[in-house]
Amino acid sequence: MTDVLTPDPEAPRAVAAAGPQAAAEPLGAGGWKRWLLIGIPYLWLLALFLAPFAIVLKISLSQTTIAQPPYEPVLDLAAGWQGLVDFVSGLHLENYSILFEDEIYVASYLSSLKIAAISTLLALLIAYPMAYGMARAPRSIRPTLLMAVILPFWTSLLIRVYAWIGILNPDGLLNAFLMWTGAISEPLYIMNTETAVYIGIVYSYLPFMVLPLYSSLEKLDETLLEAAADLGSPPWRAFWQITVPLSLPGVVAGCFLVFIPAVGEFVIPDLLGGSETLMIGKTLYNEFFLNRDWPVSSAIAVLLLLVLVVPIAIYNNVQAKELGGKA
Amino acid sequence: MALKPAQKALGPIRRSFAPWLDPSAVPLIRFENVVKRFGDFTAVDDVSLDIHEREFFALLGPSGCGKTTLMRMLAGFEAPTSGRITLAGKDLAGVPPYRRPVNMMFQSYALFPHMTVAQNIAFGLKQDGMPKPEMEARVTEMLRLVKLEPFASRKPHQLSGGQRQRVALARSLAKKPKVLLLDEPLGALDKKLREETQFELMDLQQDLGLTFLIVTHDQEEAMTVADRIAVMNHGKLVQVATPGEIYEQPNCRYVADFIGDINLFEGTVTSAQGGLVRLKSPEAGAEFVTASEAALQPGAEVALAVRPEKMRVSLEPPPAEATNPLRGEVWDIAYLGDWTVLLIKVEGTEKIVRVSRANVTRSEARPIGWDDKVFLWFAPDAGVLLKS
């Protein structure tokens, strides 16, 4: 094509359709360096996540036995081909059907999801004003505020949850304080209830909600709010029309960062929830350490992962959209 | 609307629109002794200013001169420390920005990134609870006005800088405000687009019959678009006048220096009579004569300000009747295409004089070159006397 005055009209459209990723592809040699860079973390993930998961998956298809290890079949490589055939034919799905037959498991899953969902909502309601206040604070004190949010991580989670036992006990700090002020005459029984679990989860996971909210609220350009006011929107309406929609990526990130680990939480319900609270993490622990039923507890773990795949996929999708939108 | 008899036309008078000369005209916007302090810093210092309906008014000054603060007080984002701002006779004190009948186009455009172009434009109308069909019609009208109809459903990040600027303009015009405030509206555009848009803004203001108040640090922009310009410095108004007056009749050294280029000859008055002032300027080693009605006593310290394009330059001696002759040597030449700027060192002094010549032909038989000895002169009415 030599006629420079009439370039191919399809050419720019083709580039646009291929998207920014395609345009960023380095051409020709040198690509292997990039694959090396991407490959190393993926090998890491393969070794430390996928391999153990494969083992857990295998155990979940085995059956329990009083032996070392406490399940069978075990792959006997010395037996050659026959060993492999015996191994595969020994696997079955019975553990999964147990999970649906005994209602304690389904109840644990549902209870976990409920507790995680309510905790997430509570954390969001507490964290949003916090993050908003931090993002609107004078620039000079923002690092200090941020530090205050991260500070609890300097102490072990276990210690902090133990501290809550001291606070929530019938003769703990909270009751002592409330009775001293005269607000109550009988101690409140919060310890070993679901309420205590909510308090523990919201407290422990609050930073995971505050940080993504803060980062999206801090980016918010204040002239947008001025523009909204200029166009006739009073502050409270501008908050719903401008601030909330623009902080939505932070809300989504925060909610999943709290919800996903909270579903599988073990330490908090174990220490604060007592026997009354059903959570799948605790059920799994009991199955593994008290019943020593490795196959059933592995099945619980695999099913938990399947339950969480849906929210994780949504989260990834939203994140990808967010990144794509910026490009 | 009678022109004062003493009023001489300086520069082009636009559409003979000059309500500020009419003592009976009621201004739309009045700033009365407005002061704004931020802590110890006085951003706006006792500004009194009247802006008339349908005027295109420019606030011009360097950054930090208080022009943006003055505009933000009108929009309601800042409250004056003292003084009063009225709009159509109504005191604006205590009226929040969302209840003021003014709209602003922000320097950063401040488009809502999560809304489409159409939603951005409709935002202000929605706040007023305008019925949907009417709102859609207005949005379409605005899109047509800024020639963005095909982009109605795009998001701001999918637009070019110039298109975003148009969306911001359409959004601020959608509510048909009494006053449109433009905060450095064209700062982010490249030169060519900026010039085009300046003319479009003027046409738009003319067609819509609205009052525009523009804040800019770009003197060319202010001179292009505005009916009147207020030059500001350190929070004070220095001169408020038409572009022609500001350029041809600066009232002080600051304005003379800030607007365009100028040669200042410091000197002492030797005589002043019959509308002619004679002065002696040791720094140029010459005596000058200039037309001035100013009542000056001999011995007064003054500066004669002459614009570069009003100085004549030639390789040949000037005609015998030429006034204010000087001789010099070409020190530097800048060829700008339409103009050539010559820096000429006055003979026997260190004074550098700036002269610009319109390049009216494509080539000259003997162009002025470096180190050429040249003759300079200017007419008695070319310069302006400024107090020292």
Give the contacts of B335 (CB within 8 A, at least 6 positions apart).
B359
Task: Judge if B102 and B129 occupy the same domain.
Answer: yes
**What is the chain B residue with the closest CA to A322?**
B114
The shortest C-alpha distance from B171 to chain A (Å) reads 9
Same domain for B221 and B194, yes or no, is yes
Looking at beta carbons, which residues of chain A come within 8 Å of B99?
232
Least confident of A109-113, A149-153, B12-16: B12-16
Is pLDDT above 90 for A214?
yes
Computed over every residue of chain A, the mean pLDDT equals 85
What per-residue confidence (pLDDT) applies to B6?
42
B4 in a structural domain:
no
pLDDT reading at B4 higher than 50: no
Question: Do B300 and B328 form a contact (C-beta atoms < 8 A)?
Answer: no
Nearest CA in chain B to A242: B112
- Contacts of the segment B312-321: beta carbons below 8 A, 24+ positions apart: B312/B355, B312/B376, B312/B377, B312/B378, B313/B342, B313/B344, B313/B355, B313/B357, B313/B368, B313/B374, B313/B375, B313/B376, B314/B374, B314/B375, B315/B366, B315/B368, B315/B372, B315/B373, B315/B374, B315/B375, B316/B375, B317/B375, B318/B375, B318/B377
Is the distance from CB of B372 to CB of B316 less than 8 angstroms? no
Domain that includes residue B214, residue range? 25-257
Give the rounded distance of the alpha carbon of B190 from its chain centre: 19
pLDDT value at A21 more than 70: no
Nearest CA in chain B to A235: B98
Of A65 and A109, the one with more pLDDT: A109
CB contact under 8 A, A229 and B128: no
| Range in A93-102, A139-148, B33-42, B65-74 with the lowest mean pLDDT | A93-102
CB B34 within 8 A of CB B43: no
Within a domain: residue B281?
Answer: yes
Who among B77, B97, B110 is closest to A224 (CB)? B110
Name the domain boundary from B226, B257, B288.
B257
Judge if B312 and B240 occupy the same domain.
no
d(CA B388, CA B303): 6
Identify all chain B residues contacting A234, using CB atoms and an 8 Å cutoff: 96, 98
- B202 shares its domain with B265: no
* Interchain pair B104, A246: CB under 8 A: no
As a whole number, mean pLDDT of residues B153-162 equals 93
The pLDDT, as a whole number, for residue A186 is 85
Q: Do A242 and B112 touch (CB under 8 A)?
A: yes
Residue B14 lies in a domain: no
CA of A229: which chain B residue's CA is closest? B98
CB distance A229–B104 less than 8 Å?
Answer: no
How far is it, in rounded angstroms, from Cα A216 to Cα A212?
6
The residue type found at A276 is: E
Among the ranges given (A26-40, B301-315, B331-345), the one the predictor scored with the smallest mean pLDDT: A26-40
A164 min Cα distance to partner chain B (Å) = 42
Residues in Cβ contact with B16 at an 8 Å cutoff, skipping those fewer than 6 apart: none
Q: Determine contact, residues B254/B305, Cβ cutoff 8 Å.
A: no
Q: What is the spatial distance between Cα B295 and Cα A261, in angstroms, rounded to a whole number?
A: 87
What angle do the packed helices A294-326 and A94-101 form, to 10 degrees? 90
Of B270 and B8, the one with more pLDDT: B270
For residue B245, what pLDDT is reported? 92
Helices and strands, counts by H and E, chain B: 8, 20
Residue of A nearest to B103 (CA): A230
Whether residues B210 and B286 fall in one domain = no
B19 within some domain: no
**Domain harbouring B354, CATH code:** 2.40.50.140
The helix-helix angle for A294-326 and A103-136 (nearest 10°) equals 30
Mean pLDDT of all residues in B208-220: 93
Question: What b/e readout covers A138-167, taking b as 16+ CB neighbours within 10 angstroms?
Answer: eeeeeeebbeebeeeeeeeeeebbeebeeb
Q: Which of B72, B98, B180, B184 to mutate to test the interface with A (most CBs of A within 10 A)?
A: B98
Are residues B168 and B275 both part of a single domain? no
The Cα–Cα gap between A116 and A252 comes to 15
In a 3-state reduction of DSSP, which class is residue B383? strand
Q: Give domain status of residue B12, yes or no.
A: no
Q: What is the pLDDT of residues A279-293, one digit of tens each?
A: 999 889 988 888 888
Tell me, what's the pLDDT at B14?
52
User: Looking at the partner chain, which of A227, A246, A325 has a beta carbon nearest the beta carbon of B110?
Assistant: A227
For the segment B95-108, what is each residue's pLDDT rounded down to a tens digit?
999 999 999 999 99
Lowest mean pLDDT among A64-78, B22-36, B146-160: A64-78
Is the same domain home to B273 and B253? no
Distance between CA atoms of residues B159 and B170, nearest Å: 14
Q: What is the pLDDT of residue B100?
A: 94
Residues of B with CB under 8 A from a CB of A: 75-77, 96-99, 102-104, 106, 108, 110-114, 123-124, 127-128, 157, 171-172, 175
Whole-number pLDDT of residue B296:
84
Q: Do A232 and B99 touch (CB under 8 A)?
A: yes
Nearest CB to A230 within list B97, B112, B114: B97
Rounded distance between C-alpha atoms, residue A67 and residue B212, angstroms: 88
Mapped onto helix, strand or coil, the DSSP state of residue A187 is: coil
In a domain, B278, yes or no: yes
DSSP letters along B133-184, please? HHHHHHHHHHHHHTT-GGGTT--GGGS-HHHHHHHHHHHHHTT--SEEEEES
Domain co-membership, B238 together with B304: no
Tens-digit pLDDT profile for residues B217-239:
999 999 999 999 999 999 999 99
* Averaged pLDDT score across all residues of chain B: 90
Q: Tell me the pLDDT tens digit for each residue of B111-132.
A: 999 999 999 999 999 999 999 9
Band of residue A20 on the pLDDT scale cut at 50, 70, 90 = very low
Choose one of B237, B257, B277: the last residue of a domain.
B257
On whether residue B7 sits in a domain, the answer given is no
Q: Which residues of chain A approach chain B closer than 8 Å at the C-beta?
A: 221, 223-224, 226-234, 237, 241-242, 245-246, 325-326
| B224 and B89 within one domain | yes
Which of residues B202, B222, B257 is at a domain's end? B257
pLDDT tens-digit series, residues A43-89: 998 889 889 999 999 999 988 888 778 888 887 778 788 888 888 88
Look up residue B19 and give its DSSP letter: G
pLDDT band of residue A324 (cuts 50, 70, 90) is: low
Q: Indicate if B211 and B62 belong to the same structural domain.
A: yes
Please indicate, yes or no, whether residues B288 and B166 belong to a single structural domain of this protein.
no
Say if residue A69 is preceded by a cis peptide, omega within 30 of 0: yes
Number of domains composing chain B: 2
Cβ contact, residue pair A226, B103, below 8 Å: no
CA distance B25 to A150: 63
- The beta-carbon neighbor of B124 closest among A231, A237, A245 is A231
Domains detected in chain A: 93-326 (1.10.3720.10)
pLDDT of residue A6: 45
Residue B20 resides in a domain:
no
Beta carbons of A246 and B114 less than 8 Å apart: yes
B139 & B265 share domain: no
- How many Å apart are CA B261 and CA B122, to the nearest integer? 45
ipTM of model: 0.83
CATH number of the domain that residue B191 is part of: 3.40.50.300
* pLDDT of residue B7 exceeding 50: no
User: Do the beta carbons of residue B59 and residue B216 sit within 8 Å?
Assistant: yes
Counted across chains A and B, CB pairs separated by less than 8 A come out at 57
Selected residue of B104, B107, B213 to mutate for chain A interface (largest A Cβ count, 10 A)? B104
